[in-house]
């Protein structure tokens, strides 16, 4: 209900959140790179539902630069690994909705959804009551996943960008 009836923020949230360096944890940003970032979905379908998003404001997938596309792909791969490691995900829904008619909730800034799945994880709540049952609050999800991204940054697998998470920043 918060998503449906809540106050909408001004501007594009995918553009305003990353520069808020002192609020990265509060904004659930797991990794901030040179061309893209990873953020938890504030209104998830499942625990661990995250998004991988280019930093540049665009709604045109075909207009992504090589560097943007490459970093998005690396972040998608590492996000799958993190979700397998932390949540023992058995499968994933991975994709994006481009345009309002395709179901894009924020159509002006493209973004990938990464939704972990498990055998037998469906329940009747979404069908009967338009309600989702979440076994974990977002703060806990962030605390479980952030160390995976921190480790990958330390190993050099993920290169932090100009807006990178600072050492000592959660």
Q: Look-up: residue for tokens 């553009």? A: 15
Helix, strand or coil, per DSSP, at residue 42? coil
Active site amino acids:
111
Backbone φ, ψ for residue 157 (5° rounding): -70, -40
Q: Residues 64-103: pLDDT tens digits?
A: 999 999 999 999 999 999 999 999 999 999 999 998 898 8
pLDDT value, residue 115: 94
Domain locations in the chain? 30-153
Q: Residues 97-146: pLDDT tens digits?
A: 998 898 888 899 999 999 999 998 865 555 444 555 557 899 999 999 99
User: What sign does the dihedral 162-84-27-22 (CA atoms) show?
Assistant: negative
Q: Residues 16-62: pLDDT tens digits?
A: 999 998 899 999 999 999 999 999 999 888 899 999 999 999 999 99
pLDDT value, residue 86: 97
Predicted TM-score (pTM) of the model is 0.84
Residues in the chain: 170
- Domain spanning 30-153: CATH superfamily: HIT-like (3.30.428.10)
pLDDT value, residue 147: 95
């Amino acid at each position: 209900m918060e998503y449906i009836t809540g106050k909408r923020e001004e501007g594009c949230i995918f553009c305003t959140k990353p520069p808020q360096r002192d609020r990265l944890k509060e904004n659930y940003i797991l990794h901030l790179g040179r061309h893209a970032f990873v953020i938890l979905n504030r209104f998830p379908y499942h625990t661990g539902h995250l998004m991988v998003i280019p930093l540049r404001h665009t709604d045109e997938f075909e207009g992504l630069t090589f560097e943007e596309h490459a970093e998005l792909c690396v972040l998608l791969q590492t996000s799958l690994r993190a979700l397998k490691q932390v949540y023992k995900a058995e499968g994933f829904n991975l994709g994006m909705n481009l345009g309002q008619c395709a179901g894009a909730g924020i159509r002006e800034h493209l973004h990938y959804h990464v939704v972990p799945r498990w055998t037998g994880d469906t329940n009747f709540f979404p069908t009967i009551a338009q309600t989702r049952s979440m076994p974990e609050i977002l703060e806990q999800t962030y605390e479980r996943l952030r160390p995976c991204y921190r480790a990958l940054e330390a190993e050099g697998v993920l290169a932090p960008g100009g807006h990178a998470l600072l050492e000592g920043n959660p």
